[in-house]
Structure 1
């Protein structure tokens, strides 16, 4: 694991560390809204078997999926606390993603991206050594578009 792993969020670090333990990856439940299982049923069912060339691995815990290399997708997360009207966002195939400025500036850092202006929120974690996350954003387009509802304005 590269040094960048030390900068990832606690949830992302736990997932990366557990991915190599042989059992199912436990997707952290912290930050998951109470009705996530129901709201995320379609998202979870439609997640691909491979994401950014990484095969899906067995996972439990929060609604979502885990992939080799430490990539995770969680559904039903809360709106990012740092998101404000002036935050920058990335739009990929009409899906808006919030990526913290620190992850944009540090190209070796883990990326924790969250859909915005949609419900339920979907979070994608891509470890720094598997950047850029563009392929994963593109692969998740139909999953997010088909299983979430726009609730706000698009990126500016």
Structure 2
């Protein structure tokens, strides 16, 4: 009886090791404020599937990735963006500063501390889908500022 339990336990361990090897851990650099307690609140609220991509484990605090290879990378605790003239989009009540590079886009929350950054390839993942799906987790950080447009500004009379 004892030997059959040992054999069964060994088989379970081998299976678990084999399953964990199927999806390698993504190497993601942590953000400077990754230890912020509000990041933990965001991280536990993230969806396991985002824009049809499965979440994977990463090797650093307050980070995650979706897809194999990674199609979406999220880091919490990135530097908070001050006032800017960069493109700002409001999606389901969350303000995002959008930056386009040659092959990736970066969306960084605006008006929330700590800030959350999402890096993705817009050819493979729809920005509107992933930003909508992140609303529940990101809304756990209370906004302190919001994006404004030139239409919102009160200019002095001349």
Q: State the TM-score, normalizing by the size of structure 1.
A: 0.71
For structure 1, the 5+ residue unaligned runs are: 1-20
Structure ranking higher on relative contact order (CA contacts 8 Å, 6+ apart): 1
Aligned length: 126
> Moved runs in structure 1, 4+ residues, more than 4 A?
none
Counterparts of 1:92-103 in structure 2 under 5 Å?
92-100=91-99, 103=100
- 1:77 corresponding residue in structure 2: 78
Contact map agreement 2:73 2:120 (CA 8 A) in 1: yes
- Do the aligned partners of 1:120 and 1:149 also contact (CA within 8 Å) in 2? no
- The structure with the greater share of residues assigned to strand is 1
Structure 2 length-normalised TM = 0.70
Aligned equivalents of 1:70, 1:34: Cα separation in 2: 21
Deviations 1:58-115 (A, max 9, x none): 21213021111431111111125xx643222011011000012xx1xx7x63111100
Mark the CA change 1:50 to 1:155 in structure 2 (over 3 Å): closer, same or farther.
Answer: farther
Question: CA 1:129–1:62 in structure 2 vs 1: closer, same or farther (change >3 Å)?
Answer: farther
Match of 2:147 in 1: 154
**For the structure 1 residues 128 and 88, does the alpha-carbon distance in structure 2 shift closer, same or farther, using more than 3 Å as the test?**
closer
Q: Where does residue 130 of structure 1 map in the other structure?
A: 124
Q: How do residues 1-156 of structure 1 correspond to structure 2 at under 5 angstroms?
A: 22-29=23-30, 31-33=31-33, 35-36=35-36, 38-68=37-67, 69-80=70-81, 84-100=83-99, 103=100, 109-145=103-139, 147-156=140-149
- 2:33 touches 2:114 (CA, 8 Å); kept in 1? no
What is the deviation of 1:142? Answer: 1.3
- Structure 1 or 2: more helix by fraction: 1
Question: Where does structure 2 lack aligned partners over 5 or more consecutive residues?
Answer: 1-21, 150-158
Q: Is the 8 A contact 2:75 2:118 kept in 1?
A: yes
CA distance in 2, matches of 1:130, 1:89: 22
Structure having the higher Rg = 2
